[in-house]
Structure 1
Amino acid sequence: MSRLFGTDGVRGLANGELTPELALAIAASAARVLAAHDRSHRQVAVVGRDPRASGEMLEAAVVAGLASAGADVLRVGVQPTPAVAFLVSELNADLGVMISASHNPMPDNGIKLFAAGGHKLPDGIEDEIEAGLDADAVRPTGAEVGRVSDVDDALDRYSAHLLAATPHPLAGVRVVVDCANGAASAAAPEVYRKAGAEVIAIHAEPDGININDGCGSTHLEQLQTAVLEHGADLGIAHDGDADRCLAVDAVGQIIDGDQIMAVLALAMADDGELTDETLVATVMSNLGLHLAMRAHGVNVRTTAVGDRYVLEELRAGGYAIGGEQSGHVVLPAHATTGDGLLTALRLMSRIASTGRPLAELAGVMRRLPQVLVNVRVADKAAVAGSEAVRDAVGAVEAELGEEGRVLLRPSGTEQLVRVMVEAPAQDTAQAAADRLAGVVSAVS
């Protein structure tokens, strides 16, 4: 049987794979597991959600599950995922539950759990929770049943935290923010205005159905148009739960997560905040990021794909910034998880403090053409052990030298091998990727 928890919690079709019964069971099991680890006090859980329609149903189930297991519940309503992580620490809670499917389409939903302090739960605790789903536990009664209350100032607390982490006022910055009709719809425009920016908000009217619908960080076309129409300095795009941030410069060019990290890492280096002059990125970050950082004396530590692995490396080395090409950026001094609003504030702060346009700041990094070919195979292990594949990869790497890169990565969920090639020219990258894909396909 496959593991219930993926790299980012439990996710699936709401009321299909992710039913209220399952949500109740997960919440109750989580409360019991955490109580078993610490019986010194009554457990307290923070529960938030994004605005998709099924969130109302799943929130009710999660709250019921927690209270039925004896945990007190603090409901914070519609909030970004990083706000829930922050509020777990801020409210001295033992557990956080965020109900969201992030950038997924509206019919999906998910449950993400945070431990005390707002950190992701360790795999071992998640396994204990999964093992306890069908447990015939003794339920508390009377005064031992959990109580439920609402935190009316949750957004104010989160906004104050973000403003305190913004190093320079945003006066003079005009920004268009695409809130994806998601969890950032109230928070992002408010906090950007409080920081001093002139804000034009689009897709900030969630109705439970329109989250991520042709908007947000996975659909940047309308943001590009709006930036040009309003003569803005930049555009910011969030996903449904606002843990990511992508940007658009004043002429509508996309600034991806790698470029954002390059800008922020150099800003932190200038301010003496870049621990060990090191940035953490995944293997999928563009080679251009590595070359730009090397030119500026910044080391790049590389991890497997997934924010979980970035977080592990950040914590292990005590590093100050890490993230992914998708715009999921973590700044451990201020957040325990990716925070799209914090990322945007820091990016705009750099623009405001230097007086330089985003295109110039992001120009420190040149994105190399990147080609990705998915090759369906019968046996991923055979590909990994193939001498022919190794020889082909070695030959391409020798041809590209330091100005190119090859990455072969087996899919974690399908019988696919992903062939990625970066090179100075698109044609060169495409030809090399096609050549390697042919060798991989021939093995199986």
Structure 2
Amino acid sequence: MTLIKSISGIRGTIGGKPGEGLSPLDVVKYAASYASWAKQSSGKQKITVVVGRDARISGEMVSSLVISTLTGMGCNVVNIGLATTPTTEIAVTEEKADGGIILTASHNPKQWNALKLLNSKGEFLNAAEGATILEIAESEDFVFADVDDLGEVLEKDYTDIHVQHVLNLDLVDVEAIKKANFSVAIDAVNSVGGVAMPALFEALEIDKVVEINCDPTGHFAHVPEPLPENLVETAEIIRSNKVDVGFVVDPDVDRLAIINEDGTMFNEEYTLVAVADYVLSKTPGNTVSNLSSSRALRVITEKHGQNYTAAAVGEVNVVAKMRETNAVIGGEGNGGIIYPASHSGRDALVGAALFLTHLAKSGLSCSGLRKTYPDYFISKNKIELTPDIDVDAILVKMKEKYANEQVTDIDGVKVDFDDSWVHLRKSNTEPIIRIYAEANSMEKADALAVQMIDEIKELTA
């Protein structure tokens, strides 16, 4: 069993002894710690917290525990039930709540679940806030409410509100999408995307929608991370049904992968590239992605005469950098679209609506649109080291070795060459260095990664 306690939330496998897996006792402890922090942060004794969950098998059980704990701490709860991560984020601000808890383990397998924690802006907590909650949990420094001060629960469905929020965005052109007469497919991996995405396509008046794995049972039909190797069957369904475009989401619907009409991959890295291209054509401004995302976003941003900035890996870091640079669009290369005109969180519904608008206005096929963007290929690797090796010292030496190149060290070491880059990051939990390399061919990317692995091995010999 596994329980991972981090500043971004509590994640673990269901069952096991307390402290070893995500047991009911652990759920209660961390929900109470969050409530205690939220009260301190707001300066109020009676606060409101939004709770939403994906369709995991354990979701109802974990949700019951969280809601009961929050009310036991004297918090009012808006329970929005089955809801995507971005839906829950939007609900926090719409309800003027003091925070939110999303019950989802994102792309992890079905035995996992997690408590992902939001502030009053509907955004993930920063490092200091997360650390405070872990301290409260460690000391069990929380006090439950007396019987007369127990919280109340309001049940509310937010899916339609989220969909309407997307339709109201200035750059989502419902008429253009309707006029294009698109047919689409959606693979929701048997989670909450099977509720939200068809609702969006219905609101966009798309007549033909091929639903793949849209029954929200929590029994994931394939490995839930939307990577090409997990989507072979989905791609064939899309090709054989002759739809114009296929969409794939992860269990909590904050990542969006796109499949072309011929069953080929648009490439998850290019979801953000395409959406940014459209947004920048209408609203010039800056862009942000994390250090491990494709250079293609920088190329497209500069094509529009705008400035690109890289952030440390992690959604909270991307959001902070977007706010700092007044970015109009940003996100992560895993298909995560962050569009501040909507809200500051990854949102596959917003991404799909903006992409369909872009596709409609381009007059191109999905594969034709992909061909308008430069080709980059990322090689993802890792090197395992013995526990006695100082990983930080190795990264310092690699930084010194490439001092004549463009080096960024806000999150590990990233070296930008003329036509490629490599990003070296250490794991927070294991003696591992993750090595991501990108070039204009897979062979070059792999070769660059191998070169870095060899150089690191030389330093540890």
Q: TM-score, normalised by structure 1?
A: 0.91
Secondary structure (helix, strand or coil) at the match of 1:177 reads strand
CA distance in 1 between partners of 2:226 and 2:439 (Å): 26
CA distance change for structure 1 residues 207 and 261 in 2, over 3 Å: closer, same or farther?
A: closer
CA distance in 2 between partners of 1:37 and 1:216 (Å): 34
Give 1:21 deviation, angstroms: 1.3
CA distance in 1 between partners of 2:210 and 2:51 (Å): 30
Q: How many residues align?
A: 435
1:145 matches 2:150: yes
Aligned counterpart in structure 1 of residue 196 of structure 2, from 173, 181, 187: 187
CA distance change for structure 1 residues 255 and 413 in 2, over 3 Å: closer, same or farther?
A: farther
1:69 matches 2:69: no
Give 1:6 deviation, angstroms: 3.0
CA distance in 2 between partners of 1:214 and 1:385 (Å): 36
CA distance in 1 between partners of 2:402 and 2:59 (Å): 49
Give 1:307 deviation, angstroms: 1.4
Give 1:393 deviation, angstroms: 8.6
1:317 matches 2:356: no
Which residue number in structure 2 is paired with residue 280 of structure 1?
288
CA distance change for structure 1 residues 437 and 4 in 2, over 3 Å: closer, same or farther?
A: closer
Secondary structure (helix, strand or coil) at the match of 2:380 reads strand
**Alignment check: 8 A CA contact 1:7 1:308 kept:** no
Give the stretch that moved more between structures: 371-380 or 328-337: 371-380
Secondary structure (helix, strand or coil) at the match of 1:116 reads coil
Which residue number in structure 1 is paired with residue 226 of structure 2?
217
Which residue number in structure 2 is paired with residue 161 of structure 1?
165
CA distance in 2 between partners of 1:212 and 1:308 (Å): 30
**Alignment check: 8 A CA contact 2:277 2:300 kept:** no
Aligned amino acid, residue 284 of structure 2:
L
Give 1:66 deviation, angstroms: 0.4
Aligned amino acid, residue 224 of structure 1:
A
Query: 1:41-84 CA distances to partner (integer Å, 9 max, x unpaired)?
Result: 62111111111111111111101110111001111111101101
Aligned counterpart in structure 1 of residue 123 of structure 2, from 119, 125, 132: 119
Give 1:401 deviation, angstroms: 5.3
Secondary structure (helix, strand or coil) at the match of 2:121 reads helix
Aligned counterpart in structure 2 of residue 50 of structure 1, from 34, 43, 54: 54
Gaps of 5+ in 1: none
**Alignment check: 8 A CA contact 2:284 2:304 kept:** no
Which residue number in structure 1 is paired with residue 132 of structure 2?
128
Which residue number in structure 2 is paired with residue 234 of structure 1?
245
CA RMSD of aligned residues (A): 2.5
Give 1:394 deviation, angstroms: 6.2
1:259 matches 2:270: yes
CA distance in 2 between partners of 1:404 and 1:36 (Å): 47
Which residue number in structure 1 is paired with residue 410 of structure 2?
none
Give the stretch that moved more between structures: 349-358 or 237-246: 349-358
Gaps of 5+ in 2: 408-415
Give 1:423 deviation, angstroms: 2.9
1:204 matches 2:208: no
CA distance in 2 between partners of 1:351 and 1:212 (Å): 29
Aligned amino acid, residue 146 of structure 2:
T
Give 1:348 deviation, angstroms: 0.8
1:110 matches 2:126: no
1:297 matches 2:305: yes
Which residue number in structure 1 is paired with residue 10 of structure 2?
10
Which residue number in structure 1 is paired with residue 260 of structure 2?
249
Aligned amino acid, residue 334 of structure 2:
S
Give the stretch that moved more between structures: 286-295 or 21-30: 286-295
CA distance change for structure 1 residues 159 and 406 in 2, over 3 Å: closer, same or farther?
A: closer
1:428 matches 2:436: no
**Alignment check: 8 A CA contact 2:244 2:260 kept:** yes
CA distance change for structure 1 residues 436 and 26 in 2, over 3 Å: closer, same or farther?
A: closer
Query: 1:158-200 CA distances to partner (integer Å, 9 max, x unpaired)?
Result: 2211221262122211110011111111111111121122311
Aligned amino acid, residue 151 of structure 2:
G
Give 1:23 deviation, angstroms: 1.3
CA distance in 2 between partners of 1:282 and 1:407 (Å): 11
Give 1:434 deviation, angstroms: 1.9
Aligned amino acid, residue 291 of structure 2:
V
Give the stretch that moved more between structures: 67-76 or 211-220: 211-220
**Alignment check: 8 A CA contact 1:180 1:217 kept:** no
Q: TM-score, normalised by structure 2?
A: 0.87
CA distance in 1 between partners of 2:183 and 2:289 (Å): 29
CA distance in 1 between partners of 2:38 and 2:224 (Å): 38
CA distance in 1 between partners of 2:308 and 2:358 (Å): 21
Secondary structure (helix, strand or coil) at the match of 2:12 reads strand
CA distance in 2 between partners of 1:61 and 1:423 (Å): 48
Give 1:215 deviation, angstroms: 5.3
Aligned amino acid, residue 129 of structure 1:
I
Report the identity percentage: 25
